[in-house]
Structure 1
Amino acid sequence: MKLQLALDLVNIPEALEVVKEVQEHIDVVEIGTPVVINEGLRAVQEIKNAFPNLTVLADLKIMDAGGYEVMKASEAGADIVTVLGATDDSTIKGAVEEAKKHGSKILVDMINVKDLAKRAYEVDALGVDYICVHTGYDLQAAGESPFEQLRIIKSVVKNAKTAVAGGIKLNTLPEVVESQPDLVIVGGGITGQEDKKAVAAKMQELIKQKTLA
């Protein structure tokens, strides 16, 4: 089980500062969609150059032109690139094929997929590396959480690793780790805290305890 830090509402200098603070307690750093929109793939490049030992994820939420967009993100240094589960199979296949050429991985984000079990089963057969349940900001505000969705996905996925994202904080992390996803994605639960390093360290400790148990 690994810990991924999601950076969403920052620019490149702020991102570098946050990652520098928590780098020893995280495994993956995610350049969130808002950062890519504001800063472009240069954000991926700069984080990867500054922290070569960390896995860097580019949250492109690809919906079309899977091969081309994965190629550009991989060239910028992305180790993992996201594609939406709601897209068609050919886009996901193109993304997977391109990722293999670059040694990068594909994470399929299941945000807004209506029949989770059916689509997770289909996506799993396409050779993706991660399938992620994701409760978006708007649904979090309405009180939804991703834990039940994670259980559904884990019951059907045979090949891909699983990931979970959406409003995870230190006090909800024990419930998350009980479900044993391979990747736990935390944004504001770390970036919104005053002592980011201390919170990240506690989260890492909880994850390690469960992984070793």
Structure 2
Amino acid sequence: MKLQLALDLVNIQGAIELVKEVKAAFPNLTVLADLKIMDAAGYEVSQASAAGADIITILGTAEDESIKGAVEEAKKQGKQILADMIAVKDIAARAQELDELGVDYICVHTGYDLQAVGKNSFEDLSTIKSVVKNAQTAIAGGIKLETLPEVIKQHPDLVIVGGGITNKENKKATAREMKKLIEQG
């Protein structure tokens, strides 16, 4: 289980400062480009790869041909594809399809709008884990230090945290505490 920091910031300078602050504590960071690709996937993956991304996101609702193009290009580049399940209606069926299409990660994601009405993705994560055979699992959206233990119980391969770290006064300490909890798993 790994911790991935999401930089949900519009302010580029603020994002750069945040990376500097956290990178000092965690020097071997994996870069996830959250492009949420929907079309022209091979091209988008090649561009993200050239820019230094290790993992690139595509929307789980994208056409199968787009998913195939993303996976093919990522394999060529030695990168990974994360399918973001935001707005997918039939989680189990689409997760199975994405698994067969060769994505590296399938990620349940509670977007801001659903977080605002008290939703989370814990049940969807359990559903995905029950149907996938090859892909790793990930969870994103609204994860905080307080909710992290519940996430850890389900053993996703990747836990993506944004505001749960970036909105804290001591970001480094919060990230370190989360990483410790994940490692104890």
Coarse TM-score class (shorter-chain normalised): over 0.9
Number of residue pairs the alignment of both structures matches: 185
Asked whether 1:13 is paired with 2:13, we answer yes
Q: Which amino acid aligns with 1:67?
A: G
Tell me what 1:37 maps to: none
| Deviation, structure 1 residue 147 | 0.4
The higher-RCO structure (CA 8 Å, 6+ apart) is 2
> Any runs of at least 4 consecutive aligned residues in structure 1 with deviations exceeding 6 A, and if so which?
none
Q: Does 1:188 align with 2:167?
A: no
Match of 1:99 among 74, 89, 100: 74
Q: Is the 8 A contact 1:166 1:186 kept in 2?
A: yes
Contact 1:25 1:204 in 2 (8 A): no
Secondary structure of the residue aligned to 2:83 is: strand
Q: In the alignment, is residue 88 of structure 1 matched against residue 53 of structure 2?
A: no
- 1:66 aligns with 41
| TM-score, normalised with respect to structure 1 | 0.84
1: distance between equivalents of 2:106 and 2:23? 24
State the Cα distance separating 1:101 from its structure 2 match: 1.1
Q: Which runs of 5+ in 1 are unaligned?
A: 27-50
Instruction: Give the whole-Å Cα distance in 2 for the aligned partners of 1:87 and 1:173.
Output: 29
- The whole-number CA distance in structure 1 between the counterparts of 2:51 and 2:19 is 18
Give the letter for the 1:119 counterpart.
Answer: R
Task: Give the structure 2 partner of residue 164 of structure 1.
Answer: 139
Report whether the alignment pairs 1:139 with 2:114.
yes
Structure 1 pair 101/136, CA: closer, same or farther in 2 (3 Å)?
same
Residues 132-191 of structure 1: per-residue CA shift (max 9 Å, x gap): 000000000011001001000000011000000010000000000000000001000000
- Counterpart CA distance in 2 for 1:25 and 1:93 is 36
- 1:209 positional shift: 0.4
C-alpha contact 1:62 1:69 (8 A) present in aligned 2: yes
How much does 1:192 deviate?
0.3
In structure 2, what is the equivalent of residue 129 of structure 1?
104
For the residues of structure 1 that align with 2:36 and 2:25, how far apart are their CA atoms? 26
- Give the Cα–Cα distance (whole angstroms) in 2 for the partners of residues 156 and 23 of structure 1: 35
Percent of aligned pairs with the same amino acid: 71
Distance 1:177 1:106 in 2: 22
> AA paired with 2:157?
D
* CA distance in structure 2 between the aligned counterparts of 1:152 and 1:114, rounded to whole angstroms: 13
Deviations along 1:5-33, one digit per CA (max 9) or x if unpaired, are 0001243322221122222555xxxxxxx
TM-score normalised by length of structure 2: 0.96
Tell me the amino acid that sits aligned with residue 94 of structure 1.
Answer: G
Q: Report what 1:36 is aligned to.
A: none
- State the SS of the aligned residue for 1:13: helix
Q: Map of 1:41-60 to 2, 5 A cutoff?
A: 53-60=28-35
- Aligned-residue Cα RMSD (Å) equals 1.2
Query: The residue matched to 1:125 in structure 2 has which SS?
Result: helix
Q: CA deviation at 1:78?
A: 0.8
Which AA in structure 1 matches 2:49?
Answer: S
Contact 1:110–1:132 (Cα < 8 Å) also in 2: yes
Uncovered stretches (5+) of structure 2, i.e. residues with no partner: none
CA shift in 2, pair 1:209/1:24, >3 Å: farther
CA distance in 1 between partners of 2:15 and 2:9 (Å): 9
